Structure 1
Amino acid sequence: MEKQVLSIIKDNTLTYGMKVISLAKLAENSVNILDISDDIKKYMDEGIICDLAEGNAPYRPRYIVPNYEKFMENGSELLRIKPATNIWEATHNLLMLYKNVPSVTTFPVYVGNIDTLLEPYIKDEEEAYNAIKLFLMHIDRTITDSFCHANIGPVDTKAARLILKAERELQNSTPNITLKVSDETSEELMTEAVQTALSCAKPSFANHEMFTKDLGNYGIASCYNGLKIGGGSYTLVRLNLAKLAPKAKDAEDFINNALPHAMKLMIDLMDERIRFIVEESGFFESSFLVREGLLSKNNFTAMFGMVGLANAVNYFINSDKKEDRFGYSDYANDLGMKIIEKMQEIVDNHINKHCSASDGKYLLHAQVGLDSDEGVAPGCRIPIGEEPEIYEHLIQSAPFHKFFPSGIGDIFKFDEMSKRNPKAIIDVIKGAFT
C-alpha cells in the first residue's frame, strides 16, 4: 500500500487532480466489505464479469442525472445560489452545481438539456453566444472526463443553434452532446446538427419517442445511457460474451447453461453493490442533491451491461468467411438474437427492490467497450472493419435496439461526400428511427 501511494505521488505524468482521484480510489480499493462469492471473483479475474472500475466500496451511484430544471427554478439553499435572471447567471449557476455532482469518475456524467435550460435567458444573441461559448469552454477545461454528456432538443431553440455553432468553432472534446430527435425537431435544427457532427463528431442522435416510451422524463448520460431525470444508475456491470463463449461446448450449451450461470453471478454482484450504496453508504441520507429535490431514490435503476455479442456468435460459427459471420449470415444474426432474448428473459425475471425507476428490474445496456479491450466488438455491433454498406448495417442492427432501454449506441460511418449533402444523412437518421 505504501509503495502504491508513493508511486502515485511521484508519478510526473499525473496532474494534481489525477493524483487526488487515484489516491482516493486506492483507499477505497484497500477495503473488502462487499459479500462477493468465490465464483464471482473467479469470473471477474477472468475478465468475463467486469465492474468497470467502480471500486470495492461504492459510496455514490455510478451515474447521477440531476433535475437541473428544478435547480434553475429554485436555486440551491446549500450553495446559496438564487435563480438566475440573465444568461451569465444561468451559465455560472450551472457551472457551480456541476462541481457538486458526483459520479464514478468524480465528474458529472450529465450536465442537462442545456439548450432548454439556457433558452429563457437569451435576450441578445451575440451576448448569449459569448456566454455559451465560455460556458462550453469551462466545461471542457474543468470536467476532464469523456463520460460528461449534454443534451439538446427535441424542439428547435436559439440556444441549441448557438451551442452547435460554438461547438463547430471550439472543437472541444467535452461535453459529449446528444440531440433528441422527434417529430418536433425541425429540419433546420437537424441540418445544423448534422453539419456540426461532420465537423466535430457530435452531436449524436437519439430516438426521443422510444426513450420517452421506455423511461418517461429522461436524459442521455455518459456513454449514451438513457436514464430517468432526477435519478440515474446505481451501477453498471458488464458481461463479456467474447470471453464467456469458450466455456460452452456449443451454442445451445452457451444459451442454456453458460450464459444463465454467468448472468446469475453478475446479478448477485449487482445486488450486493446496490445494497451497500443504498443501505450502508449513507449517500441518500447525506447528499444535498437529495435534500433539495434534485435526486430521488425512486428514480434510480441499474444497468446490466454486455459486450462482445458478435465475438460469441462468430466463435460458435467458427468460420472466417464473411458471409457466414455475424452481420451477414441469417443463421449468425438469428443466433445473436436468441442470445439477447435469453439475456432479456433472465434480467426480466429478477427483481431488485431498490430499482424503483424500472419496476424493480435491471436494464440491459449494450456497453461500448474499454480502451483495454482487444478484438472485442462493442455491445451488439458488427466487428470494426467488417461492417456492410450503411443501409444493410442499419437493417441488421435495428432489431436489437428494442432490448436495450438504457442505451445501445451505434456508430455508422459516412464518407466525405456526405458533407455536401446533409439532407441525405438526415433521411438516413429518420429512416433508422422509423
Structure 2
Amino acid sequence: MSLQENIVQIVSHPHLSPKQKSNYLALEAENSLPYVAVSEQVSNAMKDGIICDMFEGHAPFKPRYVLPDYAKYLKQGSEYLALSPAEDFDDALNALMVLYHHVPSVTNIPVFLGHLDALLMPFVAGLDADAIYRKLTRFWILLDRILPDAFMHVNIGPTDNIICRTLLRIDLELQQIAPNLTFMYEPAITPDDLLLQATTNICFCNKPHIANYSLHAETFDKRGFGIVSCYNALPLAGGANTLVRLNLKQVALKAASIDDFFQQVLPYYGQLTFELIEARSAFLHQQSHFFDSFLVKEQLIVEDRFAPMFGIYGMAEAVNILQALSAKGLAAAIRSPEAISQSSNAYGHSQAANELGLRISAALANMVTSTPVTYGYKGR
C-alpha cells in the first residue's frame, strides 16, 4: 500500500478519533523517511524478526520515556510555560497538568507523573481530609479522561501520608485504567496497614504494583528514580532514550549447539542490538534537537541521565529449543516447538532447563554491564 493510500485509510477510518488520526498521520510521515543508518547485518536481523525496535519510528525525535523532576518544576515554576512557583494545592495540581501536556514519550502521553505524594504533601496545609479527597478525585478522573494510557505511572510511598492513602482510596473507588500506580515499599518505613491497603486494592483493580524501594534506590544516585511504563526503573530527571529488544527464540534457532549459542550466536546478535541502540540514540541526541528543549534548559531533565534499554523476549522458547537441540538436533527443535514446551524437560518444569535460562540471563547481564554506550546513564 502506498503512503498516500495509508493516509487516506487513516483520515477516513470510522473508529479513530481526530487525535488518534493525527498521531497515526505523524507516524506515517516519520516512517516515510529513510531508517537511521545501520549495517546490513542489523537490517537483516530486523527483517528476520531477531531484533525489534519496538516501533519507535524511523527517525527518533523524542525519547521513549521521560521522567522530569516535577519537584524542581513546582518549586521554581517555568519561564517557558510562563508559570510561577506553586503556592498552594490547586496551584500544584494545575501546574502538573500543564507540564504533563509537554512531556513526550513513545506513546505521546507521559509515562511518569511523579512521586505524587511527595510532590503534593508540601501543599496540604489548611486543607482537611475531605477537601484533599475531592480535589484528588477530580484530578484522578481528569488524568484518565485526557491521558488514557496505562503506561502512565504515578509513584507513591514508601512513607505513610494522607496523599498516599487518599490516592489508594480513590483508585479503589474509581477502578480506572489510568493512571497506573506503583507503590514503593520499604519494610523499615512503610506501616503494615498501609501495605494492606495497597494489597487490598490489587485484588479489585490490579494495582498498585509494589516495588522494592531500597533495592531500586541503591541502583541510582541521590537525585532518585521513578517506576514507569511496564514497571521500568529509570533515573529521575532523565529517562530512556530508546528500547531495542532481542528475540531469544530466533537467536536459539540460529545456533548449532548450546556451546555455539553462547560462544558465537548470542554475542553476535547482542552486538547487533547494541549497534541499533547506538544508531537510534545518536539520531535522537545529535540530530533531533530534543535536548535543546525547555525541559533541559530549565533543568527538569538532564541529557546524561538517559539510558538505552536492552530488552529480551522468548526466553522460555529459547531454552526449550536449546534443550531439544542438545538432545535431538536442530531439525527436531524447529519441527516441534510445541512438543518441546510440553515435555518434562521444558522451561519451568526442569531444573536443567531453568539453570540454562539463568545461564542465558547471566550472559546477557554480563553483556549489558560490560558494553559501554555513547549515550547512557553512567555510560550504560
TM-score, length-normalised on structure 1?
0.80
Correspondence 1:147-166 to 2 at 5 A: 147-166=151-170
Are 2:350 and 1:343 aligned?
Answer: no
Correspondence 1:54-93 to 2 at 5 A: 54-93=56-95
Which portions of structure 1, spanning 4 or more consecutive aligned residues, are displaced by more than 6 angstroms? none
Q: 1:366-408 CA deviation, whole Å, 9 max, x = no partner? A: xxxxxxxxxxxxxxxxxxxxxxxxxxxxxxxxxxxxxxxxxxx
Counterpart position of 2:315:
309
Correspondence 1:327-406 to 2 at 5 A: 327-355=348-376, 357=377, 359-361=378-380
| SS state at 1:214 partner | coil
Counterpart position of 1:225:
232
Q: 1:5-38 CA deviation, whole Å, 9 max, x = no partner? A: 1110000111111101000011011111511122
Counterpart position of 1:94:
96
For 1:320 and 1:8, the matched residues in 2 are separated by: 40
> CA shift at 1:192, angstroms?
0.9
Counterpart position of 1:30:
32
TM-score, length-normalised on structure 2?
0.91
Cα separation, partners in 2 of 1:121 and 1:95, compared to 1, 3 Å: same
Cα separation, partners in 2 of 1:322 and 1:164, compared to 1, 3 Å: farther
Equivalent residue in structure 1 for 2:143, among 136, 139, 145: 139
> CA shift at 1:249, angstroms?
1.6
Counterpart position of 1:198:
203
Counterpart position of 1:265:
272
> CA shift at 1:125, angstroms?
1.1
Q: 1:63-117 CA deviation, whole Å, 9 max, x = no partner? A: 1000011011111111122222222222111111100001111110101011111
Equivalent residue in structure 2 for 1:297, among 278, 281, 303: 303
> CA shift at 1:120, angstroms?
2.0
Name the aligned partner's letter for residue 208 of structure 1. Y
Cα separation, partners in 2 of 1:353 and 1:38, compared to 1, 3 Å: closer
Counterpart position of 2:129:
125
> CA shift at 1:353, angstroms?
2.7
For 1:345 and 1:226, the matched residues in 2 are separated by: 19
> CA shift at 1:348, angstroms?
2.4
Counterpart position of 2:194:
189
Counterpart position of 1:325:
346
For 2:41 and 2:115, the matched residues in 1 are separated by: 42
Are 2:21 and 1:19 aligned?
Answer: yes
Name the aligned partner's letter for residue 351 of structure 1. P
For 2:252 and 2:140, the matched residues in 1 are separated by: 44
Q: Which moved more, 1:78-87 or 1:332-341?
A: 78-87
Equivalent residue in structure 1 for 2:263, among 234, 256, 259: 256
For 1:320 and 1:175, the matched residues in 2 are separated by: 36
Q: 1:340-373 CA deviation, whole Å, 9 max, x = no partner? A: 1111222223212321x2x212xxxxxxxxxxxx
Q: 1:267-317 CA deviation, whole Å, 9 max, x = no partner? A: 0000011111111111112x1111111000121111100111111111222
For 2:366 and 2:171, the matched residues in 1 are separated by: 42
| SS state at 2:148 partner | coil
* Contact persistence 2:64–2:242 (CA under 8 A): yes
Counterpart position of 1:430:
none
For 1:195 and 1:320, the matched residues in 2 are separated by: 35
> CA shift at 1:226, angstroms?
0.4
Are 2:172 and 1:168 aligned?
Answer: yes
For 1:133 and 1:293, the matched residues in 2 are separated by: 30
> CA shift at 1:321, angstroms?
5.0
Counterpart position of 2:212:
207
Equivalent residue in structure 2 for 1:238, among 233, 245, 269: 245
* Contact persistence 2:148–2:177 (CA under 8 A): no
> CA shift at 1:323, angstroms?
3.8
> CA shift at 1:322, angstroms?
5.3
Q: 1:247-283 CA deviation, whole Å, 9 max, x = no partner? A: 1122221111111111111100000111111111111
Cα separation, partners in 2 of 1:176 and 1:30, compared to 1, 3 Å: same
Equivalent residue in structure 1 for 2:183, among 179, 185, 196: 179
Q: Indicate the RMSD between aligned Cα atoms, in angstroms.
A: 1.3
For 2:75 and 2:36, the matched residues in 1 are separated by: 39
* Structure ranking higher on relative contact order (CA contacts 8 Å, 6+ apart): 2
For 2:116 and 2:304, the matched residues in 1 are separated by: 24
| SS state at 1:131 partner | helix
Percent sequence identity over matched residues? 37
Are 2:41 and 1:45 aligned?
Answer: no
For 2:121 and 2:366, the matched residues in 1 are separated by: 43
Counterpart position of 2:281:
274
Name the aligned partner's letter for residue 193 of structure 2. E
| SS state at 2:233 partner | strand
For 1:140 and 1:320, the matched residues in 2 are separated by: 40
For 1:343 and 1:208, the matched residues in 2 are separated by: 24
Name the aligned partner's letter for residue 353 of structure 2. A
Structure showing greater radius of gyration is 2
For 1:191 and 1:82, the matched residues in 2 are separated by: 39
